Amino acid sequence: MGHATIEWVYVGVVIAILVYVGADAWNIERLLEHAPEDAETIKVTGAQWVWTFEYEDGTREIGKLHLVKGQPYRFEITSVDVIHSFNIPDFAIMMDAVPGRINTIWLVPDQSGEYLIQCREYCGLSHYQMRGTLIVEEPSGEEGEANITSAAVEAPSKGATAVAS
């Protein structure tokens, strides 16, 4: 092979890698931006210095967020005063809470348990206290059975599922 041929092969390989990386990144961006259609919407409001969560049925909780494992959720995040940032480190969720606009992010919690919710944008004197608790519960009843993954269905009992997770 001459120099020119080797160079063209090199150029071709580089272009192929760039196209592959670009296409994959585009696909991931698309997935990140679009919540599943059956996602439940939860309104998240930051205020100095508490998080308020409003579920689809209109009920509200302050500082505590109850989700069900395996169910998709779409968070609509805003603030009533200064800029905060809604952060659940264990699920790699972080989105700014900005007064006057709604930012969205979605999540399907895949593990039950209790997790930290915190503000990740310095927002004043008690910023460090702007924490909450995410409680992810195991699905229950008929609705839960449908949501349970095939792996969980194969487990002999609920107890065994809890141990596995």
With CB under 5 A as the contact rule, the residue among 69, 74, 84, 120 that binds Cu ion is 84
Q: Looking at beta carbons only, is 42 or 130 nearer to Cu ion?
A: 130
Q: How far is the CB of 84 from Cu ion (least distance, A)?
A: 3
Q: Looking at beta carbons only, is 74 or 84 nearer to Cu ion?
A: 84
Q: Looking at beta carbons only, is 71 or 115 nearer to Cu ion?
A: 115
The span from the CA of 124 to the CA of 47, in Å, is: 11
Residues 127-146 that bind Cu ion (CB under 5 A): 130
Q: Looking at beta carbons only, is 69 or 120 nearer to Cu ion?
A: 120
123 binds Cu ion (CB under 5 A): yes
Task: Determine the interface stretch with Cu ion among 77-85, 103-111, 136-144, 151-159 (rule: CB under 5 A).
Answer: 77-85
User: Could you write out the DSSP letters of every residue in 76-142?
Assistant: EEEESSS-EEEEEGGGTEEEEE-BT--EEEEE---S-EEEEEEE-S--STTGGG-EEEEEEEPP-HH
The backbone torsions φ and ψ at residue 164, rounded to the nearest 5 degrees and listed phi first, read -65, -30
The span from the CA of 51 to the CA of 165, in Å, is: 27
Question: How many other C-beta atoms are found inside a 10 Å radius of the C-beta of residue 34?
Answer: 12
With CB under 5 A as the contact rule, the residue among 119, 134, 136, 152 that binds Cu ion is 119
Q: What's the gap between Cα 81 and its chain centre?
A: 24
Residue window 33-72: x/- pattern of binding to Cu ion, with contact defined by CB under 5 A? ----------------------------------------
The span from the CA of 99 to the CA of 82, in Å, is: 6
Task: Give contact residues for Cu ion (rule: CB under 5 A).
Answer: 84, 119, 123, 130
